[in-house]
Amino acid sequence: MMPMPSNKTADGLIRRLPDVRGEYEAGVSMASLSWFRVGGPVEVLYRPEDARDLAFFLDALPGDIPVTVIGVGSNILVRDGGIDGVVIRLGRAFSQIEINGTRVSAGGGAPDVGVAGACAASGVAGLEFLRGIPGTIGGAIRMNAGAYGSDISQVLLSATAVDSQGTLHQVSADELKFSYRHCGAPADWIFVHALLAGSSGNHHEIAARLAEIKTARLQSQPVKSRTGGSTFKNPDPVLSGGRKAWQLIDEAGCRGLTVGGARVSEQHCNFLINSGDASAADLESLGNEVRRRVLAHSGIPLEWEIRIIGRPRARGDTIADMTEAGS
């Protein structure tokens, strides 16, 4: 496990941060927050009290302090050197789910699986695909997440976001210019709320569909392993001849490939796994080796779907060095 920032370093940063109603916590290990269970510490973790608290923080934050936003940690790989500055994590205040007829109001921190379950309980159909997406609604909007034949762009009516200046924006789905695994919103927007459209359905039929998706995931994906979800985006079908990322990886002979404690899943080779003692560097190196082999075999470049954040551990650093540096 990486050392925590020194109290002196963390206290110095916290003294420069706005006086918010939410919570600051210094030296939190990102390995405890990411599904890969790897990553160094963040200098300061900030959990906003609500959207207004978040807006105030962003407006008053000194411009030289870097900010990183995370959800539940399902699609990130945090490097071993940790993250400088402040990590924002939307907590319970952003996880509310309310259903009015077939309209679903969800906070940006609401788990996708939780939204799917709430819809099933209320007889709202059309959002079952969310059961197959690890992460939150805010993250789903940011990357236009999808599964089982649908994606967030097909059900989103409107979204509310806060930008880096603390300004609130309410926009329609059309304004976000969605494409495959991409949202056209400015990079500094943090999605705090979404209004989704469902349709009337039968509770038992919807619940059965959720059970099918759960079973399909268990059978086809290493969901009980330390993994971050799908690692690479599916390439352009014209370029790839209709082959998906996992097929290209398999054809390049990468199924079961290992680097240190990191392994390409034998069950679904578009998943990287921390076998128990992997570092973030192991996982990133393995992913880049997969990309190299796929490009050499098929001529098709794979793009990371997982977001890689933070900084590598500096070569030659010792535990004492990193603690003194507040890394």
* Alpha carbons 70 and 134: distance in angstroms, whole number: 13
* Alpha carbons 60 and 175: distance in angstroms, whole number: 28
Residue 199 falls inside a structural domain: yes
Residue 283 falls inside a structural domain: yes
Query: Would you state the pLDDT for residue 317?
Result: 52
**Token code pair at residue 165:** 């200046």
* Alpha carbons 77 and 305: distance in angstroms, whole number: 11
CATH of the domain at 155: 3.30.465.10
Query: Would you state the pLDDT for residue 229?
Result: 87
| Helical residues (DSSP H) of the chain, grouped into ranges | 7-16, 51-60, 112-122, 137-143, 203-220, 237-240, 245-251, 280-298, 319-325
Residues 185 and 113 sit within 8 Å (Cβ to Cβ): no
Residue 320 falls inside a structural domain: no
Segment 308-316 mean pLDDT: 85
Q: Tokens 């210019």 correspond to what residue?
A: 177
Q: Is residue 52 domain-shared with residue 16, that is, in the same domain?
A: yes
Residue 316 falls inside a structural domain: no
Residue 305 falls in the annotated catalytic set: yes
Phi, psi (rounded to 5 degrees) for 80:
-70, -20
Residue 313 falls inside a structural domain: no
Q: Is residue 100 domain-shared with residue 83, that is, in the same domain?
A: no
Q: Is residue 83 domain-shared with residue 197, that is, in the same domain?
A: no
Residue 2 falls inside a structural domain: no
CATH of the domain at 21: 3.30.43.10
Helices (H) and strands (E) in the chain, counts: 9, 19
Residues 31 and 38 sit within 8 Å (Cβ to Cβ): yes
**Annotated catalytic residue within 49, 150, 164, 181:** 181
Query: Would you state the pLDDT for residue 206?
Result: 95
Residue 128 falls in the annotated catalytic set: no
**Annotated catalytic residue within 43, 128, 284, 305:** 305
CATH of the domain at 301: 3.90.78.10
Q: Is residue 214 domain-shared with residue 243, that is, in the same domain?
A: no
Q: Is residue 100 domain-shared with residue 168, that is, in the same domain?
A: yes
Q: Is residue 128 domain-shared with residue 188, that is, in the same domain?
A: yes
Cα–Cα distances in Å, from 179 out to 50, 63, 137, 154, 223?
A: 30, 31, 17, 11, 26
- Comparing CA positions, the residue from 101, 98, 99, 94 lying closest to residue 141 is 94
Residue 278 falls inside a structural domain: yes
* Final residue in a domain of this structure, among 20, 55, 89: 89
**Annotated catalytic residue within 34, 122, 230, 327:** 230
Q: pLDDT digit string (tens) for 252-305?
A: 999 999 999 999 999 999 999 999 999 999 999 999 999 999 999 999 999 999
Query: Which of these ranges, 34-43, 150-159, 217-226, 297-306, has the smallest mean pLDDT?
Result: 217-226
Q: Is residue 110 domain-shared with residue 208, that is, in the same domain?
A: yes
Q: Is residue 71 domain-shared with residue 102, that is, in the same domain?
A: no
Number of domains present in the structure of the chain: 3
Q: pLDDT digit string (tens) for 49-90?
A: 999 999 999 999 999 999 999 988 889 999 999 999 999 999
Percentage of the chain with pLDDT > 70? 93
**Token code pair at residue 21:** 């109603």
Q: Is residue 100 domain-shared with residue 209, that is, in the same domain?
A: yes
| Structure-model confidence comparison of residues 217 and 281, the more confident one | 281
* Final residue in a domain of this structure, among 56, 89, 122: 89
- Comparing CA positions, the residue from 287, 282, 258 lying closest to residue 270 is 287
| Helical residues (DSSP H) of 185-279, grouped into ranges | 203-220, 237-240, 245-251
Domain housing 45: 7-89
| Residues in contact with 314: Cβ distance below 8 Å, sequence separation at least 6, in sequence order | 81, 322, 327
* Alpha carbons 253 and 3: distance in angstroms, whole number: 37
Residue 315 falls inside a structural domain: no
pTM: 0.84
Straight-line distance from the first to the last Cα atom of the chain, in angstroms, rounded to the nearest whole number: 12
68-85: string of b/e by CB count within 10 Å (b at 16+)? Answer: bbbbbbbbbbbbbbbbbb
Residue 17 has pLDDT above 70, yes or no: yes
